[in-house]
Structure 1
Amino acid sequence: MPTLPLPSPLISATDLLARLGPSAAWPVLLDCSFDLADPKAGEAAHAKGHLPGARYAHLDRDLSGAKTARGAIDGGRHPLPTREGFAATLTAWGIGPDTPVVAYDNQGGPYAARAWWLLRWLGHSQVAVLDGGLAAWQAAGGPVDLAPCRPEPAATPYPARAPAMPTVSASLLQASPAALLVIDARAPERFRGDVEPLDAQAGHIPGARNRFFKDNIGADGRFLPADALKKAFAAFGTPAERIVHQCGSGVTACHNLLAMEAAGLTGSALYPGSWSEWSSDPERAVARG
C-alpha cells in the first residue's frame, strides 16, 4: 500500500507506529543518537536496541564533513558535509529523493534535527523527526530491534541539488551585524561566557540572543505545542527570514530551526561554523554577560 505523506517537521510515535505496517514503502529510519563527550556511545546504544530497520547515522562520520587544515577557523568542529558527499551517504542508506525518512535520537532531538536539516538542505521534503525519540516510541508500545541494518543502496544515485535551506557565513555576519538577529542555542552559562568547555574563547557573538535548545521540549522529551514555540520565537521581535541560528558547532542550532518550523515560522538560516568557528579567530569580536 502507498505510504501517506509524512507530517512535517515532527511525527508522533503513534503516527509512526501506524505507518510501519505490512508495506514495502516504510519510511527509512535514522538513529542519530550521539554523545559529544563519548563519540562511540551513540553507536553502542544503537547496537543495544533501535527502531526496527533503523540505519545508524553517526554525527562525525555521516552528518558532518571533514575538518579543514585550519581546523575550527574554517567550518567549526562539525562542518557541513559536501553536498555530493551527503548525497552519496543517502544513496548508501537506500534513500532516494521521494523516500520518506524519519530521524530520531535519545537526547531530546538535537542530532535528529541535524539530520532533518541536512536532508532539507539537499531538497528532501519527505523528512520528519520522531517527537520524543526512542523513549516516546517505547512508551507508545513500539518494538525495539537488536539486528544490525544492512540496507540495499538506492538504485539511482541521490542528486546533489542546489541548497534548499539558507546558510550564512562569518564574513556576512561581520559585514551586516544590524541586518540579522543571531539566536544562540547553547546553554545560558556558555552563552554568557561563564564557562567554555570546548572552544577557543568564552562568550558569544556580539548582539546575539540566547534560546537554549532544551527549552523547546517539555519534561516528557517532546517538543512544546506549536503555539508555545511560536510565542517564544516571536518574542525576539524579528521576522524569521532575518534570523540566523548558531550554537557551538552548528548541530543544536538545528533544534531551534526545527522548533521554528514546527511553529510555522519558516525561512531562518543556519550559521554552520557557529561559535567554534567564530571564537577561533582572535580578530573577531566577542561579547560576554
Structure 2
Amino acid sequence: MSFLISISRLKKRLENKQNNTVIVDVRFQLNDPDAGRKVYLEDHIPGAIYMDLKKDLSGKVEKHGGNHPLPDMNMFANKIGNIGIDHHTTVVIYDQSNDMFAARMWWLLHYLGHKKVYVLEGGYERWVSEGNEVTDEIPALETKEFHPVFQEDQVVHIEEVKEKMSDNKAVLLDSRGKDRYLGKSEPMYAKAGHIPGAKNFVWKDVLNEDGSWKKDDQLKSHFSSLSKDDEIIVSCGSGVSACPNVLALKAIGYKNVRLYPGSYSDWISYDENEVETKEE
C-alpha cells in the first residue's frame, strides 16, 4: 500500500544516513495516557521523536467538538517544524503495532499538505521482533520551518454532516466496533448507538488476522459496496480510529474521502441529535 513503509526500507534509509528522514513514535493507550511516553523513554527506534495523542495530536476538549478534537493546526505545524519536518522531509510514523494513532498523525500531516508521510508496517512490535536495534537516547532536534498548505476539503464538521446526510449527498461510515455501533455496549460515552444513516466499517477490518495491513486487492473487495463517485465521510468515536479507514480508502483510489473529526462524541454532545441502534 502506497502509504506504508516496510521495516527493511526504513532500515536502508537509516543505514544510508538519509538525513531528510524524521521518525515519529506515537504509541499511546487510551486507558493510560502516560503509558506511551513512558515506553518511549524506556526504548524506541533510534532517532525517533515522541508525539502524544492528547498533547500534540489533539486539541483542548470543549463541550462540543468531540473527545479528541483537532489541534490548533498552525500550532501543530510549528510543532512539526520544531522536530525537524519541512516539505522535503520524509516522515515515518510508528505505533505499537498497526494501530490507529499512527494513522491519526498521518492524516494530520496529509491535512497540512505534506506528501512524504508513511506508516511503518507492523510498528514497533515488528521492529523489535525482527531483532532490530532500539535505544533510550533522546535525539537532538534540528528545527525547520514547516509552511502548511491546508487541505480544507479533507475535513467536515457537524452542520455539514447533517446537511449531507439529510440530502443523501454523502455516505457516512462509522469505524467503531460492531457492538458499539449497534449500541450493545458503550464503554466511553453516556449514550449508545450511532449517527443515523451511518454504515459500519470497523477500522480493524483493514488489517489481516495477523495484524498486517491488507493488500490493495483485499481492500478493494472490503470497500466494494462504496462507489468512488460518492462523497465518503468517515467517523468513529472521536476522530482517531476513523483514520485507518481514511488511509485505506485513499490508498485504493477513493478521492472524495473526508474525516469528521468530532465523530460520535461530538454528535451526542448536542441533546437534540438522535442516535440509531439498528444495522444500516
TM-score over 0.5 for the pair: yes
Which residue is equivalent to 1:271? 260
Q: Mapping of 1:169-180 within 5 angstroms?
A: 169-177=157-165, 178-180=168-170
Residue among 38, 42, 56 paired with 1:44:
38
Q: Which moved more, 1:245-254 or 1:131-140?
A: 131-140
**Once the 2 structures are TM-superposed, how far is the Cα of residue 223 of structure 1 from its aligned partner?**
0.3
Q: Mapping of 1:202-281 within 5 angstroms?
A: 202-235=192-225, 237-239=226-228, 241-281=230-270
Deviations 1:131-187 (A, max 9, x none): 111122223442111112331222xx2113222651111111111211111111111
**Once the 2 structures are TM-superposed, how far is the Cα of residue 107 of structure 1 from its aligned partner?**
4.3
Q: Secondary structure at the match of 2:15?
A: coil
**Once the 2 structures are TM-superposed, how far is the Cα of residue 240 of structure 1 from its aligned partner?**
6.2
**Amino acid across the alignment from 1:283:** E
Using the aligned pairs only, state the percent identity: 38
Q: TM-score, normalised by structure 2?
A: 0.93
Cα RMSD for the two superposed structures: 1.6
Which residue is equivalent to 1:163? 151
User: Which whole-Å CA distance do the structure 2 matches of 1:197 and 1:179 have between them?
Assistant: 31
- The aligned length equals 276
Residue among 53, 57, 67 paired with 1:59:
53
**Once the 2 structures are TM-superposed, how far is the Cα of residue 232 of structure 1 from its aligned partner?**
0.7
Gaps of 5+ in 1: 1-6
**Amino acid across the alignment from 2:46:** P
Deviations 1:181-226 (A, max 9, x none): 1111111111111111112311001111111111111233210111
User: Which whole-Å CA distance do the structure 2 matches of 1:162 and 1:259 have between them?
Assistant: 21
User: Which whole-Å CA distance do the structure 1 matches of 2:183 and 2:267 have between them?
Assistant: 14
Contact between 1:123 and 1:164, CA under 8 Å: does it hold in 2?
no
Structure 1 28/151 Cα, relative in aligned 2: closer, same or farther at 3 Å?
Answer: same
Q: Secondary structure at the match of 1:176?
A: helix
Q: TM-score, normalised by structure 1?
A: 0.90
User: Which whole-Å CA distance do the structure 1 matches of 2:260 and 2:242 have between them?
Assistant: 8
Q: Secondary structure at the match of 1:118?
A: helix
Gaps of 5+ in 2: none
Q: Secondary structure at the match of 1:260?
A: helix
Contact between 1:29 and 1:54, CA under 8 Å: does it hold in 2?
yes
Which residue is equivalent to 2:3? 9
Q: Secondary structure at the match of 1:20?
A: helix
Pair 1:111 & 2:101 matched? yes
**Amino acid across the alignment from 1:23:** K
**Amino acid across the alignment from 1:239:** K
User: Which whole-Å CA distance do the structure 2 matches of 1:262 and 1:119 have between them?
Assistant: 15
**Amino acid across the alignment from 1:91:** G
Deviations 1:93-127 (A, max 9, x none): 11111110000101422100000000010000000
Which residue is equivalent to 1:32? 26
**Once the 2 structures are TM-superposed, how far is the Cα of residue 231 of structure 1 from its aligned partner?**
1.1
Q: Secondary structure at the match of 1:234?
A: coil
Structure 1 33/165 Cα, relative in aligned 2: closer, same or farther at 3 Å?
Answer: farther
Deviations 1:61-87 (A, max 9, x none): 11111223xx2x2x1111111221111
